[in-house]
């Protein structure tokens, strides 16, 4: 089943209501049980749109893939903007829904943690 725009919109709204879906970290002694129940509920709501069906694990994978692609696109845009050499920047801007997803993921997803010193070769 190919995920449609309506599915992405609803998935994003569910993630905004339940931010732990983004990190997939469910705290507490029954966190794992809550996580499974929440993903089951998400799958039920997304499947009820009538465009096809996926299991909760398939929806979780779809969200993971979407986050990865959006982070890669944002990183490419950042690289293109910071590129030297003149001329116009060559990139496709993020959509409104991708910007909302990045806002949920946080700036560390793209820029990293500025408080962490990277180790490497000293030149």
State pLDDT tens for residues 79-118.
Answer: 888 877 777 777 889 999 999 999 999 876 666 666 777 6
Of 67, 64, 61, the C-alpha closest to 102 is: 67
Q: What would the mean pLDDT of 20-27 be, rounded to a whole number? A: 91
Neighbours of 35 (CB within 10 A): 19
Q: What is the pTM of this model?
A: 0.82
Q: Distance (Å, rounded) from C-alpha 7 to C-alpha 63?
A: 11
């Amino acid at each position: 089943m190919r995920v449609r725009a309506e599915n992405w919109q609803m998935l994003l709204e569910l993630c905004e209501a339940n931010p732990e879906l983004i990190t997939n970290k469910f705290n507490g002694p029954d966190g794992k049980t809550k996580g499974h129940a929440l993903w089951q509920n998400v799958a039920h709501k997304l499947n009820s749109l009538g465009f096809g069906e996926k299991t909760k694990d398939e929806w979780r994978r779809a969200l993971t893939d979407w986050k990865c692609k959006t982070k890669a696109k944002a990183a490419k845009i950042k690289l293109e903007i910071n590129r030297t050499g003149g001329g116009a920047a060559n990139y496709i801007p993020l959509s409104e829904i991708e910007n909302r997803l990045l806002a949920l993921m946080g700036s560390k997803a793209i820029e990293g943690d500025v408080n962490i010193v990277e180790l490497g070769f000293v030149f």
